[in-house]
Amino acid sequence: MMRKTILTIFIIAATITTGIVSCDTGKANKPSASTVSNDSLVKRGGYLVTIGGCDDCHSPKKFGPHGPEVDMDRRLSGFPASRSYPKYDSNVVKKGLVMFNEDLTSAAGPWGVSFAANLTSDDTGLGNWSEAHFFKAIREGKFKGLDGSRTLLPPMPWENFRKMTDDDLKAVFAFLKSTKPVKNIVPGTRQLAELK
């Protein structure tokens, strides 16, 4: 009887020890963020850009059977420079309301008119940006990630995105740098007084 009890205790202890060692070994084999391959980083960044809704404002749209759809040839290229300025009613905006153009690449509000930036890898987009510029733009809301520049304007929700982890921001930046370059110089901000 005593022998069975000792054997049972030994088996239970061995099982628990094996479980603990297995859990610890699993953690040791998990790759750190710094060893993640560039392909995985780009894939993760693409996922974050999609669920973050970046296409909603930064991608021109085509109109299909279900309404506006991302124009994949111009994905993430911002407000098209070839398009005429949208017309916004200044009386509506002065009441504190916000208006968008038909594909959400431009918005007017009490701040004036803002145009979605080109986020592609082209030099007219993020092509010349460093990761440090990108971090400053998202974390501090600085236009083009430059010290002394203006704050990013609505509707860019940088105050929300600033809470992303460093690994998430690195992934998003890696994805954006991997995108098809689309040449598109987005117009500058317009003041509220310029609205008719």
For 50-64, write each residue's pLDDT tens digit.
999 999 999 999 999
| 19 pLDDT above the threshold of 80 | no
- The answer to whether residue 106 is domain-embedded is yes
Confidence band of 196 (pLDDT split at 50, 70, 90): low
- The answer to whether residue 186 is domain-embedded is yes
Q: Phi first, then psi: what are they for 168, rounded to 5°?
A: -65, -45
- Which of helix, strand or coil describes residue 192? helix
Question: Which domain, by its residues, includes 168?
Answer: 37-194
| 129 pLDDT above the threshold of 80 | yes
Six-digit token string for 120: 């592609």
- The answer to whether residue 180 is domain-embedded is yes
Say if residue 48 is exposed, middle or buried (CB neighbours under 10 Å; 0-12, 13-18, 19+).
Answer: middle
- The answer to whether residue 46 is domain-embedded is yes
Q: From CA 158, how far away is CA 151, in angstroms rounded? A: 10
> Tell me, what's the pLDDT at 135?
98
- The answer to whether residue 173 is domain-embedded is yes
- The answer to whether residue 100 is domain-embedded is yes
- The answer to whether residue 20 is domain-embedded is no
> Tell me, what's the pLDDT at 192?
84
Note the maximum CA span of the chain.
96
DSSP state of 180: P
Task: Confirm if 158 and 150 have CB atoms less than 8 A apart.
Answer: no
Number of structural domains (the chain) is 1
What pTM was estimated for this model as a whole?
Answer: 0.79
DSSP state of 86: P
Confidence band of 101 (pLDDT split at 50, 70, 90): very high
- The answer to whether residue 120 is domain-embedded is yes
